[in-house]
Amino acid sequence: MRKYVYLHELDSVRKTDWEIIRGQQALYDEIVGNGNIVVLTYNQLVDSRGFFSLWDNPEYQGSLVELFQNGAIRISQYGSIRSIVQYLLSTIDNDQNRYIYSALPIKSAQKRLTALIKRSLIHSDLTEIREYLSEKEKNSAALRDLFTECSGDIIIESQLSNEEMTGILENLYWLLATVLRISTLDHIYVRPRENSEYRNFRFYDILKLVLDRSILRPDAAEAIRNLRCFQKGANSRSVYHHELKQAAEAFADKEAFQYAEAAVNLCYNCACEISICNISKHYDFCNIDSPDSSFLCDFAARLRDDWQDGRDANFRFLLDETNEFIEFDRMDALPNFSEAAFLTRCFPYQAEPDETGIPRYEWNLSEQRQQQKSIVSLKIGKKCLSLLFCIAFLMVFEITGQLLQCIWDGEFSFLDSLSAVFGFAAETIAFFLICETASTLLSKKFPNLLSLSEAIQEIKQLLSTAYHVRTSKPAGYRSSSQSGQNFREKRSSHAVMPCAETQELRRYKQLRTKHPTWFAPSEIYPIADTANPEVVRSIRRSEELFSRQYGVVYQSRFHTFTVDPVIGEGGEIFPYERVMGSSGNDGVVMLTRHQGNFLLIRQFRHALRAEQLAFPRGFAEPGDSPAENAVRELREEIGAVLSGEPVLLGRIAPDSGLTGDRAYVFQADLESFSPNIGHEGLLEWTEVPEEELDRLISSGQIDDGFTLGAYALYRAHHQK
């Protein structure tokens, strides 16, 4: 019986050469030795050096793709991510992702490079990457510009050599080529597990469980408990990595923190394993949190196996945050995956549903391996006999033809003549060449037929594969516990895949979580619940039918432009646009006075493409109070020195039809000022008495909503 298995050995953080070799051997052994189907997570496939550094080997890449095609390797879907292409795009689109613990040798700050990757995936077009790899571009300024980093408005030139850049691009090319090829194979995806079946066994839950059960070394357990991320119940593994590294810097002996990171990695992998539908595990999931849990015994044993007595701990744990790409050059140490691919070509790799439940990984394992060897040997033996029979038939046919020709000609003495023997051999060779030519032409017309040379080569391949199947030894982790091996876990349920979301909608949902007050409920213009999958489907339908766009359409340091999905009177969804300040804080307007006169500045406003006479105003900076924002803006724009503290007059909403922003209005009396002419379009300044200000307003020379609102608050304030 074939089982679905998840391999911890293929964890993306395993980056040393020996870990990669061990992981690839485990993968090979599960397919060839056990006849099982390996289920990968997106993270294992895309973010692992163990795969990324191997794709540029054509033989390896072709064999792995064939293993996907033949069903021996599959991928577990998760959340709303349906394919590897979608996973990679969502990873790159995530502004919070720094790719530090990913094997992708790129940085989020390399905006042009990430944009190139996105274009290549969206359009299934790798020709642009190939252009950068041409001899003409390998040493060009265009290549260097592709790898530049952008932090805010600062451009940082890459420190990589041109050779390193082309090496990264070459591997990226093969990664994307592989991703595009296997993303179209819909049969390789395992649908996600129903959330309710494992919601209490996520990464943090498992980490807390092993800490509560005192599975870890006391010093490592204490190190984890002291982490801020643990105390907050964080579920992001990279946060734990980062904080463990920071905490370890204060200690000369870092082994406890390295051991803690190994435990964190194992907890993460257990959470991944549990989240996959119908995976055979090394423990009983039903009693995972009981005191005598087989999970806890297995966890302790696996942790010892992973830790390896601290082997290469300085190269495996508490690593510096780097995006350095290191080539893997030990291909000779890897198994021959072309044999594994050939094996899966001979017979199907399908997991037959067993209604009695999912067996433990170790259940019937010895018999399973022996059965795999027998099946493979039998099938390969039959094919070898068939091919040998065909070749023997050709030889007998040729020899018989020669003998009949001799009998017909009455020449029986040819066997005694040495020259006749050579002539016979030459004729035989010529016959084989004719057979090869004919069989090659036939194989082109009928792809299922093999040419003679291909048939001979296949026999060699069959014999080699049979030998390795018969002699292969277990390469992956095996639980030493014999208890409960006959236990069968209840089959888990597949979750309904939610509707695929756009990048704009994903950011919109994050924004709703970050700033809930921006999305206050209203019976007049209710905003649709974007957490509801049916609502997401309706939004996508609206986008596709009417060419609309919903979500966070644009976001900068200053503004966030959203299109809200608002529910109309008939229940239909329609778009409603608005702009908010990205900081989440209201801006400020300063009604400025100097020696009894009002100070106005003339400024060019881009939105109007015209000049305006107005009071100074500005955006809010995160962390500053409104009064601090007012003082800062006055200092930056007009070099003001205040004669006292600014006085809060109130708050205005100058354009409630488009923006969700309000602005605090302050009265600021100035001791002196020195306007920064040219700064942010500032053209000139002027001082006017109150009567002149009234005239400028009534004549329409002042039409700035912020200024008019601030002046109205000033008048109301002083009439009290």
- How far CA 175 is from CA of 2, 11, 48, 122, in Å, comes to 29, 17, 11, 15
**Per-residue confidence (pLDDT) for residue 394, from 0 to 100:** 61
**Per-residue confidence (pLDDT) for residue 259, from 0 to 100:** 97
Helix (H) or strand (E) holding 531: none
Query: Comparing 6-10, 325-329, 540-544, which segment has the lowest mean pLDDT?
Result: 325-329
For the question of whether the overall pTM of this predicted structure is more than 0.85, the answer is no
Residue 101 has pLDDT above 60, yes or no: no
CB-count burial class (<10 Å; 0-12, 13-18, 19+) for 277: buried
Residue 372 has pLDDT above 60, yes or no: yes
Tens digits of residue pLDDT in 329-365: 899 999 999 989 988 887 778 766 666 788 888 888 8
What is the SS3 assignment for 716? helix
Cα gap 91→313, rounded to integer Å: 28
- Per-residue pLDDT, averaged over 24-43, amounts to 93
For residue 12, the one-letter residue type is: S
Residue 98 has pLDDT above 60, yes or no: no
The helix, strand and coil proportions of the chain, stated in percent and rounded to the nearest 5, come to 50, 15, 35
pLDDT-derived band at 418, boundaries 50, 70, 90: very low
pLDDT-derived band at 371, boundaries 50, 70, 90: confident
Decide the pairing of beta strands 559-567 and 551-555: antiparallel
pLDDT-derived band at 252, boundaries 50, 70, 90: very high
Beta-carbon-side half-sphere exposure of residue 295 (alpha carbons within 13 Å): 23
Bridge partners (DSSP) listed for residue 668: 592
pLDDT-derived band at 219, boundaries 50, 70, 90: very high
Indicate the average pLDDT of the chain.
85
The two structure tokens encoding residue 487:
């236990």
Cα gap 686→615, rounded to integer Å: 10
- What number of H helices and E strands is found in the chain? 25, 19
Q: Which residue has the tokens 């209604």?
A: 355
Beta-carbon-side half-sphere exposure of residue 148 (alpha carbons within 13 Å): 15
Percent of the chain with pLDDT over 70: 84
- Per-residue pLDDT, averaged over 528-537, amounts to 90
Cα gap 694→674, rounded to integer Å: 25
pLDDT-derived band at 301, boundaries 50, 70, 90: very high
- Report DSSP letters for 79-137, one per residue: TTB-SHHHHHHHHHH-TT---TTSS----TT-HHHHHHHHHHHHTT--HHHHHHTSTTT
Cα gap 98→475, rounded to integer Å: 34
pLDDT-derived band at 134, boundaries 50, 70, 90: confident
- How far CA 549 is from CA of 453, 570, 609, in Å, comes to 58, 20, 27
Contacts of 167 (CB under 8 A, 6+ apart): 325, 327
- Per-residue pLDDT, averaged over 420-437, amounts to 61
Q: By C-alpha distance, which of 52, 39, 125 is closest to 78?
A: 39
The two structure tokens encoding residue 578:
């608005």
Return the number of other C-beta atoms located less than 10 Å from residue 46's C-beta: 23
**Per-residue confidence (pLDDT) for residue 560, from 0 to 100:** 92
**Per-residue confidence (pLDDT) for residue 17, from 0 to 100:** 93
Alpha helices in 249-336, H assignment, sequence order: 255-275, 294-307, 313-316
The two structure tokens encoding residue 545:
């039918």
Higher pLDDT, 666 or 469: 666
**Per-residue confidence (pLDDT) for residue 622, from 0 to 100:** 80
The two structure tokens encoding residue 108:
């989020």
What is the SS3 assignment for 456? helix
Residue 443 has pLDDT above 70, yes or no: no
Cα gap 23→147, rounded to integer Å: 31
Question: CATH homologous superfamily of domain 587-718?
Answer: Nucleoside Triphosphate Pyrophosphohydrolase (3.90.79.10)
Cα gap 169→146, rounded to integer Å: 10
Q: Are 281 and 489 in contact (CB under 8 A)?
A: yes
pLDDT-derived band at 390, boundaries 50, 70, 90: low
Q: Are 498 and 538 in contact (CB under 8 A)?
A: no
Q: By C-alpha distance, which of 612, 628, 609 is closest to 620?
A: 628
How many angstroms from the chain centroid is the CA of residue 30? Answer: 25
- How far CA 622 is from CA of 207, 225, 568, 583, 589, in Å, comes to 34, 31, 35, 6, 17
Query: Comparing 26-30, 35-39, 198-202, 410-414, which segment has the lowest mean pLDDT?
Result: 410-414
Q: By C-alpha distance, which of 33, 104, 45, 35 is closest to 74?
A: 45
Helix (H) or strand (E) holding 684: strand 682-688
pLDDT-derived band at 22, boundaries 50, 70, 90: very high
Q: What are phi and psi of 51, to 5 degrees?
A: -105, -45
- Per-residue pLDDT, averaged over 572-598, amounts to 90
Tens digits of residue pLDDT in 620-657: 888 789 999 999 988 888 888 898 899 999 999 988 88
Q: Are 28 and 473 in contact (CB under 8 A)?
A: no
The two structure tokens encoding residue 174:
């093969």
Helix (H) or strand (E) holding 579: strand 573-581
Return the number of other C-beta atoms located less than 10 Å from residue 142's C-beta: 11
The two structure tokens encoding residue 699:
């004549």
- Nearest-Å Rg of the Cα atoms of the chain is 35
- ∠ CA 322-324-326 to the nearest 5 degrees? 140
Query: Comparing 141-150, 414-423, 627-636, 658-667, which segment has the lowest mean pLDDT?
Result: 414-423
- How far CA 76 is from CA of 37, 66, 79, 126, 506, in Å, comes to 12, 18, 10, 26, 21
Q: By C-alpha distance, which of 298, 301, 272, 291 is closest to 361?
A: 298
How many angstroms from the chain centroid is the CA of residue 372? Answer: 35
Q: By C-alpha distance, which of 617, 633, 710 is closest to 673?
A: 633
- Per-residue pLDDT, averaged over 613-619, amounts to 90
Q: What are phi and psi of 217, to 5 degrees?
A: -60, 140
**Per-residue confidence (pLDDT) for residue 48, from 0 to 100:** 87
- Per-residue pLDDT, averaged over 418-437, amounts to 60
Q: Which residue has the tokens 């921006």?
A: 518
Contacts of 115 (CB under 8 A, 6+ apart): none
Q: Are 586 and 617 in contact (CB under 8 A)?
A: no
pLDDT-derived band at 414, boundaries 50, 70, 90: very low
